[in-house]
């Protein structure tokens, strides 16, 4: 059995780590929200011209393969696709904000959302790593894997604590009834 001081330190460490994950989810929500707003700003504009201007601003030669892919992508954008992208971005960011709030407040439902959404993204991240290992892909994969395992740990620990609490309550009822 842990001493009361150790329990307090463990609880504080869990709370701080949970808040770090909540902050990360909140930042992801802000990032995707900004992408959605950019999609709305591109509606009824010539996306190809905007893409070419962005490449010029960043001093990227338009003859390069990646630049050509970017320009082709911009050329295929329609207002309908932009509105759809914006709606999806807003839904995704709302999910991230909700998850971040719940994790900040240490809610079990948020731990389930974080576990589920993180687990669903793992195959996509593995596919990305199979296409080519980069530092960014590796860091994203490792961070997501760490979050998924941490949420699994929290969910199991919470289940164990609730089970122990039920047993303690049942024992106290049995003793008071005897």
CA separation for the pair 76, 169 (Å, rounded): 63
Q: What is the pTM of this model?
A: 0.81
Q: Give counts: helices (H), strands (E), the chain.
A: 6, 0
Which pLDDT score is estimated for 36? 97
- Answer for the pair 17, 150: CB distance below 8 angstroms, yes or no: yes
CA separation for the pair 74, 52 (Å, rounded): 9
**Reduced to 3 states, what is the DSSP secondary structure of residue 54?**
helix
CA separation for the pair 106, 100 (Å, rounded): 10
Domain definitions of the chain by residue range? 1-105, 107-178
pLDDT digits (tens, 9 = 90+) for 135-160: 999 999 999 999 999 999 999 998 88
Q: Residue 103: which of 28, 35, 9, 171 has the closest Cα?
A: 28
């Amino acid at each position: 059995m842990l001493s009361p001081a150790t329990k307090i330190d463990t609880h504080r460490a869990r709370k701080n780590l949970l808040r770090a994950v909540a902050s990360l989810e909140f930042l992801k929500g802000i990032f995707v929200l900004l992408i959605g707003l950019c999609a709305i700003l591109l509606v009824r504009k010539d996306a190809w011209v905007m893409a070419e201007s962005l490449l010029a601003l960043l001093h990227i030669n338009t003859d390069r393969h990646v630049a050509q892919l970017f320009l082709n992508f911009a050329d295929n954008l329609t207002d309908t696709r932009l509105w759809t992208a914006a709606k999806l971005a807003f839904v995704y960011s709302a999910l991230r904000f909700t998850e971040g709030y719940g994790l900040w407040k240490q809610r079990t439902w948020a731990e389930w959302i974080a576990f589920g959404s993180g687990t669903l993204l793992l195959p996509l991240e593995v596919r990305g790593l199979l296409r080519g290992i980069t530092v960014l892909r590796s860091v994203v994969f490792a961070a997501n894997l760490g979050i998924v395992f941490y949420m699994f740990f929290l969910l199991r620990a919470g289940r164990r604590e609730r089970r122990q609490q039920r047993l303690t309550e049942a024992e106290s009822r049995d003793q008071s009834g005897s």
